[in-house]
Amino acid sequence: MKYLIRIVLALLVTTQASANPTAFSLVPSAPNLNAKAYLLIDYHSDQVLAESNADARIEPASLTKMMTAYATFYELKSGTIKMEDTAKVSLNAWKTAQGTSTMFLRERQEVGIKDLLYGLIIQSGNDASIVLAEHIAGSEEAFSSLMNEHARMLGMTGTNFVNATGLPNKDHYTTARDLATLAKAIIRDFPEHYHIHGIKKFSFNGIDQYNRNNLLWRDRFVDGLKTGHTDSAGYCLVASAVRKNMRLISVVTGTSNENARAIESQKLLRYGYRFFSTYHIYDADTELYKMRVWKGSKEEVPLGINQPLYVTIPRGQYKKLKASLDVNKDIEAPVTKGGQYGSVNVTLAGNQLLQRPLVALEDISEGSIWEQTKDGVMQMFQ
């Protein structure tokens, strides 16, 4: 039987929002949106602030291109392709894009990867999507398999891709929650490329085109991500905004027009910033407690968390926030760095808010025969 020791911790809080921790504010219900599905999360804490039908299967339309971009960023980071490389526009890429969203590529044209990424993200070019897919994987079908592998690794369990563009297909689907997961991954994993999502205009082949995310003009805090539209999917928008270091991600799908998707997205973002604050509680790999180790080469092991800990709570509730540790009473060597030896618990007004594994921050090997024998005797009298 595993015995635990409860330890109350001091909160090492850094505010991530423009909140007054001593003020009190009431939190109304989240707004009801004219959309098929929507979700609002805090980027740092991953806490859901508003949702409706977030796990329902939806058609992603050009939101698909978020994954096309993610997979391309991954190849750039891996070194398999470079921004300076060029790719040839195939007949398939040129033909498929006719009458749809396009960056106006010409068949057999050699285009730089950087221009293709800009055309993909800013202009939502279906031709750019297919050229990138064929350049990276040989065919759009093979690239779709790659997209699904990335989705699996990111935990997007409600998603399946069959193309790189988002053109309608009954086997091409996702969920609002999965799209939020993907948006977070783009920001987290590829900060060097994320800024492209906030560029308002891109010119190619002598044609100026503007980013379809009109929140970039309406809200100075919004810096991305992507729009989507087909007749069957409706008008969709995944947006992210950062205000005083508090980043929110909103997903709105199935609205009636371009203006509606912007208005409904802004409702979510305003709600999040008006009524919630995010706090940075503890850093990763920072010692929170030292615990006795029996039969080891050292007598104590530092314990902490392996990821930064953030919480998002209603504004004015800071004083009701408490943290504690549940630590295994008997820790015996060998101790493995990263091994779990308890949990970090955060409560708000006495209710469990979140729990994270409490892990060893270093390895501790078994002690000598003398140390093991001595500690074995001491344990008998504990």
> At residue 254, what is the residue type?
G
What are 109's two structure tokens?
Answer: 């044209």
Contact (CB, 8 A) for 74 and 81:
no
What DSSP designation does 361 have? Answer: S
Residues 239 and 349 in one domain: no
- Residue numbers annotated as active site: 62, 65, 124
**Amino acid identity at 48:** V
pLDDT at 348: 92
Q: Say whether pTM exceeds 0.85.
A: yes
- Residue 246 falls within a domain, yes or no? yes
In a domain, 31, yes or no: no
Q: H-type helices in the chain, by residue range?
A: 65-78, 91-97, 113-121, 126-137, 140-154, 176-189, 191-194, 215-218, 258-275, 369-380
Place of tokens 């779709």: 144
Final residue in a domain of this structure, among 276, 297, 328: 276
pLDDT of residue 174: 98
Residue 26 located in a structural domain: no
What CA–CA distances, in Å, run from 317 to 128, 321, 349, 381? 48, 7, 8, 44
Pair (327, 375) in one structural domain: yes
Q: Do 272 and 288 sit in the same domain of this protein? A: no
Residue type, position 263, single letter = I
338 and 245: one domain?
no
Q: Which of 241, 276, 311 is the last residue of a domain?
A: 276
Whether residue 23 is predicted with pLDDT greater than 50 in this model: the reply is no
Same domain, 219 and 236: yes
pLDDT band for 365, please (50, 70, 90 cuts): confident
Q: Are 54 and 162 part of one and the same domain?
A: yes
Q: Report the CATH number that the domain containing residue 14 is assigned in CATH.
A: 2.60.410.10
User: Does one domain contain both 293 and 345?
Assistant: yes
Residue 310 is part of which domain span? Answer: 4-18+283-380
Q: What local confidence, expressed as pLDDT, does residue 370 receive?
A: 64
Per cent of the chain over pLDDT 90 is 78
Residue 247 included in any domain:
yes
Number of domains the chain is built from? 2
Claim to verify: residue 248 and residue 311 sit in the same structural domain: no
Which residues in 20-57 are b (16+ Cβ under 10 Å) and which e? eeeeeeeeeebeebebbbbbbbbbbbebebbbbbbeee
Among the residue ranges 22-31, 47-56, 229-238, the one predicted with the least confidence is: 22-31
Structure confidence by residue, pLDDT tens digits, 104-153: 999 999 999 999 999 999 999 999 999 999 999 999 999 999 999 999 99
Query: 138 and 83 in one domain?
Result: yes
Domain closes at, from 214, 243, 276: 276
Residue 111's nearest CA partner among 95, 92, 135 is 135
Convert the pLDDT of each residue in 40-77 to its tens digit: 999 999 999 999 999 999 999 999 999 999 999 999 99
Same domain membership, residue 296 and residue 238:
no
Cβ pair 105, 111 in contact under 8 A:
yes
Percent of the chain with pLDDT over 70: 92
Is 314 part of any domain?
A: yes
Cβ–Cβ under 8 Å, residues 38 and 54: yes
Residues 55, 204, single domain; the answer is yes
Cα atoms in the Cβ-side hemisphere of radius 13 Å centred on 64: 31
Same domain, 243 and 309: no
